[in-house]
């Protein structure tokens, strides 16, 4: 909900996209309405991360249920209020000593449980196949267990543990171990924001039914280094740094350098064109490694220049990029992958440049992540 947005809280979608989503439903909007995708469940949540800075969620349980109904979701999370803090050594109902923090934690805890109770009752009115999921929020193992116990007593058979994103595997173990001792053995558990694929086998004993993560997608265009995923050794993923080739006519930093007469537009555009041509030839023929590395280095020198301190030494950064790019060029992961992005785009999917290109690499990452998950399980 927080991504799609509405009149109460703006999401990431445009107004036109948001209206279309509600009109046609999630399956058609996401283009998974074909027969071969009908078996897929569609999970929804309220996007609590997006409004975490507010004193209370901008949506009511009724608002979210209306959204799930219009979107034709098969599963949906209750309206929660994220608790980011996790104190693994606090026991019982113990809370942090800071009064302001304590008040905020208790407020978010109560809001989440109260909304869950209303959500469960009202979800019975939804037509078609729909399973409500009660969200667990807490600041310690025992507070999470208390919340989980309350949700099960309300009638929930499926729980989602929130606040997992920043936690270490050790802290997640402690939370799950404590929660599992307070709920029925057959209660299904979903981990919100769990991307630790290499650790997932460790959590099998906790009856983990499902997980979600945006990490593979977001890494493609937000991570400073690990943008491209490939299967690694054993249960691990291998990461590569995508070739950073910003568009000279649209990149603000490059335009600032040109405006300040640190580089001419002709020079920047020429080196940009050279590196794109070199990569294209390398993708087609694979016999111009040194030439491609040289053109990448020349364009990277410009891109790393700081307009406020143009004489700053970037030699270490350049050397690191050189090694990262060399590994990517030598390994040629686009030739080893069977996803449609790699088949159609080849080396182009490894170039960090433009929204559509970066999102296609995100689709590749999701393909690799999904295959690795199936392999592990």
Residue 188's DSSP bridge partners are: 158
Q: Are residues 114 and 165 in the same domain?
A: yes
Q: Are residues 169 and 254 in the same domain?
A: no
Residues 364, 236: Cα–Cα separation, whole Å: 17
Say which residue, 1 or 112, is predicted with more confidence.
112
Q: Are residues 48 and 87 in the same domain?
A: yes
Task: Write phi, then psi, for 76 (nearest 5 degrees).
Answer: -150, 140
pLDDT digits (tens, 9 = 90+) for 309-324: 998 999 999 999 999 9
Say which residue, 287 or 80, is predicted with more confidence.
80
pLDDT at position 262 over 80? yes
User: Exactly one of 33, 63, 198, 212 is catalytic; which is it?
Assistant: 212
Supply 373's token pair: 């998950």
Q: Are residues 208 and 242 in the same domain?
A: no
Q: Are residues 368 and 272 in the same domain?
A: yes
pLDDT at position 7 over 70? no
Q: Are residues 241 and 194 in the same domain?
A: no
- Is residue 13 very low, low, confident or very high in pLDDT (cuts 50, 70, 90)? confident
Residues 279, 288: Cα–Cα separation, whole Å: 9
Closest to 196 in 3D by CA, of 369, 371, 377: 369
Q: Are residues 182 and 64 in the same domain?
A: yes
DSSP state of 157: S
The parent domain of residue 257 ranges over 237-376
- Tell whether 225 is covered by a domain: no
- Is residue 1 very low, low, confident or very high in pLDDT (cuts 50, 70, 90)? low
Supply 140's token pair: 């310690």
Average pLDDT rounded to a whole number, residues 259-269: 95
Over its C-alpha atoms, the chain yields an Rg (Å, rounded) of 24
Residues 315, 334: Cα–Cα separation, whole Å: 29
- Tell whether 228 is covered by a domain: no
Q: Are residues 132 and 253 in the same domain?
A: no
Q: Report how many domains make up the chain.
A: 2
pLDDT at position 122 over 90? yes
- Tell whether 231 is covered by a domain: no
Closest to 244 in 3D by CA, of 266, 267, 222: 222
| Residue that is last in its domain, among 179, 213, 247 | 213
Supply 57's token pair: 């969620």
Output the pLDDT for position 92: 86
Average pLDDT rounded to a whole number, residues 114-128: 92
- Is residue 271 very low, low, confident or very high in pLDDT (cuts 50, 70, 90)? very high
User: Exactly one of 45, 69, 80, 324 is catalytic; which is it?
Assistant: 45
In this prediction the pTM is 0.88
Average pLDDT rounded to a whole number, residues 23-36: 92
- Tell whether 5 is covered by a domain: no
pLDDT at position 2 over 80? no
User: Angle 169-180/141-154 helices, nearest 10 degrees?
Assistant: 40
Count of residues making up the chain = 377
Strands (E), 84-185: 131-136, 158-161
- Tell whether 69 is covered by a domain: yes
Supply 73's token pair: 């979701």
The CATH number of whichever domain residue 131 belongs to comes to 3.20.20.105
pLDDT at position 370 over 90? yes
**Is residue 45 annotated as a catalytic residue, yes or no?**
yes
Q: Are residues 107 and 205 in the same domain?
A: yes
pLDDT digits (tens, 9 = 90+) for 196-249: 888 888 898 898 999 999 999 999 999 999 999 999 988 889 999 999 999 998
Average pLDDT rounded to a whole number, residues 139-166: 95
Q: Are residues 209 and 283 in the same domain?
A: no
CA distances (Å), origin 8, targets 77, 202, 352: 19, 41, 35
Q: Are residues 165 and 247 in the same domain?
A: no
CB distance 372 to 196 below 8 Å:
no
**Is residue 324 annotated as a catalytic residue, yes or no?**
no
Q: Are residues 198 and 243 in the same domain?
A: no
- The contacts of residue 237 (CB under 8 Å, 6+ apart) are 197, 198, 229, 230, 231, 368, 369, 372
Highest mean pLDDT among 73-82, 90-99, 307-316: 73-82
pLDDT digits (tens, 9 = 90+) for 144-157: 999 999 999 999 99
The percentage of the chain sitting over the pLDDT mark of 70, rounded to a whole number, equals 99
Average pLDDT, the chain: 93
pLDDT at position 5 over 70? no
Torsional sign, CA 348, 350, 356, 362: positive
Task: Write phi, then psi, for 24 (nearest 5 degrees).
Answer: -100, -15
Strands (E), the chain: 43-44, 75-77, 131-136, 158-161, 188-191, 208-211, 228-231, 237-240, 243-244, 351-352
Burial of 309 (0-12, 13-18, 19+ CB in 10 A): exposed
């Amino acid at each position: 909900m927080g991504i799609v947005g509405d009149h109460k809280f703006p999401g990431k979608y445009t107004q036109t996209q948001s209206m279309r989503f509600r009109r046609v439903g999630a399956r058609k909007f996401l283009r998974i309405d074909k027969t071969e995708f009908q078996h897929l469940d569609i999970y929804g949540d309220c996007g609590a991360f997006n409004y975490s800075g507010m004193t209370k969620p901008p949506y009511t349980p009724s608002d979210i249920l209306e959204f799930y109904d219009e979107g034709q979701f098969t599963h949906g999370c209750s309206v929660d209020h994220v608790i980011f803090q996790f104190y693994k050594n606090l026991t019982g109902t113990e809370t942090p000593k800071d009064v302001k923090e304590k008040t905020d934690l208790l407020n978010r805890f109560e809001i989440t449980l109260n909304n869950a109770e209303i959500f469960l009752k009202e979800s019975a009115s939804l037509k078609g196949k729909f399973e409500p999921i009660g969200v667990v929020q807490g600041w310690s193992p025992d507070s999470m267990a208390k919340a989980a116990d309350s949700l099960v007593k309300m009638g929930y058979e499926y729980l989602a543990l929130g606040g997992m994103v920043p936690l270490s595997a050790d802290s997640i173990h402690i939370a799950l171990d404590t929660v599992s001792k307070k709920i029925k053995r057959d209660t299904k558990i979903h981990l919100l924001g769990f991307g630790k694929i290499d650790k997932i086998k460790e959590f099998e004993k906790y009856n983990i039914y499902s997980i979600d993560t945006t990490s593979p997608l977001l890494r493609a265009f937000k991570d400073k280094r690990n943008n491209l995923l490939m299967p690694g050794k054993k249960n691990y993923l291998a990461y590569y740094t995508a070739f950073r080739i910003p568009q000279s006519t649209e990149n603000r930093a490059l335009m600032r350098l040109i405006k300040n007469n640190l580089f001419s537009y002709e020079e920047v555009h020429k080196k940009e064109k050279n590196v794109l041509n070199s990569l294209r030839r390398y993708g087609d023929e694979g016999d111009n490694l040194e030439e491609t590395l040289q053109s990448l280095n020349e364009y990277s020198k410009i891109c790393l220049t700081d307009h406020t301190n143009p004489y700053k030494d970037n030699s270490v950064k350049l050397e690191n990029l050189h090694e990262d790019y060399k590994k990517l060029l030598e390994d040629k992961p686009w030739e080893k992958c069977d996803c449609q992005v790699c088949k159609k785009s080849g080396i182009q999917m490894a170039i960090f440049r433009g929204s559509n290109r970066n999102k296609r690499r995100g689709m590749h990452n999701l393909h690799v992540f999904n295959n690795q998950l199936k392999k592990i399980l």
